[in-house]
Amino acid sequence: MTHLPGTRRGGVLTTAALAAALLLSACGGGSPEATDTSEAAAEDTTVSTAFGDVAVPADPERVVTLAESALDVSLAVGVTPVGTTASRGGDTAPAYLGEDAADIPIVATVSEPNLEAILEAQPDVILASAGLAQEQYDALTAIAPTVVPDTATGGDWQEPLHVYAEALGADDELTAALDDVTSRAEAIAGEGSLEGSAAVLRWMANGPVLMNSALMPGSLLEAAGASPVQAAADLGGRPHSDPLSLENLAQVDADRLFLAAFGADGTGALEAARSQPAFTQLQAVQEDATTEVNGSVWSSASGPIAADLVMDDIEAAAS
């Protein structure tokens, strides 16, 4: 496994690295026929992004993913990136992606790309996360065409996935995978086994937070027949609520609770909460309708592979 170098660079491309990026771009030419603009245009795909339309190779062979969801999409459509980002709080690719992601070199953290490592990967296209700062975008696009979805948390969770798939020339494959996930949810809804309210709580050391119902897990729960608690639907563009005290848990009680413990601290906090009266008095706890789920999948992941794992948990809870 390749990890981030010990010496961290800033989020801005250095002059030397920028010069190297431009040199690589210039050296990638070849014969005049190969660089003919009309021929290049015919081989490009235009993708609508947060920074306007971006032309990317129609069939990119060297892809760098700087978002967990972009890595998920890439692997789901059969593309193995030449570089990717470490998972939140970790130094490897997200564990839920298994061996398919284990050997991909790490060229970024969630908050900061390692520009020298990305440059060395010689990508045809870079798939970055929504909300990327202009400064970082300028540095990345000097290396390769950079695709950044133009979506907010409160929007359709599938939209940014399609942006990535379009850049890979694989949107049909993604659509088929997401349709399969939707079919699984609709089958549960048809049975009526998940009727009632549901909430997803991410447990952290400083208290649980209520996850926005517009995110992937909440959306899949709703598609499976559950109703979101109002507080989760009211979060707007925020991914989750502020940390809740145990005394305030009643505000987000529901017929079913999905408890996403994230990391050792989160797992320990959830275990401690189980002995607290405020927790044990929750309706879902009293009726044995709580499900503990993988926090890295339920509270930070998004993509067809993660969605299948979420549906595994939902199907188990509904059975």
- The model's pLDDT over 48-77, given as tens digits with 9 standing for 90+, comes to 999 999 999 998 999 999 999 999 999 999
The SS3 of residue 112 is coil
pLDDT band at 35 (very low <50, low <70, confident <90, very high): very low
Per-residue pLDDT reduced to its tens digit, 86-116: 988 788 899 999 998 999 999 998 888 999 9
Separation CA 306–CA 29 (nearest Å)? 39
How many helices, marked H, and strands, marked E, lie in the chain? 15, 12
pLDDT band at 31 (very low <50, low <70, confident <90, very high): very low
pLDDT band at 192 (very low <50, low <70, confident <90, very high): very high
Cα radius of gyration (the chain): 21
Separation CA 67–CA 84 (nearest Å)? 8
For residues 307-316, b (16+ Cβ closer than 10 Å) or e, as one string?
bebbbebbbe
Please name which of 210, 202, 278 lies closest in space to residue 246, comparing C-alpha atoms: 278
| Tokens describing residue 114 | 């390692």
pLDDT band at 154 (very low <50, low <70, confident <90, very high): low
CB 256 within 8 A of CB 317: yes
Would the pLDDT of 231 be above 60?
A: yes
In this prediction, residue 34 carries a pLDDT of 39
In this prediction, residue 151 carries a pLDDT of 74
Q: For 10-30, what is the mean pLDDT?
A: 43
Separation CA 251–CA 201 (nearest Å)? 12
The residues near 9 (Cβ < 8 Å, ≥ 6 apart) are: 17, 114, 115, 116
Would the pLDDT of 24 be above 60?
A: no
Stretch (H or E) spanning 305: helix 304-318
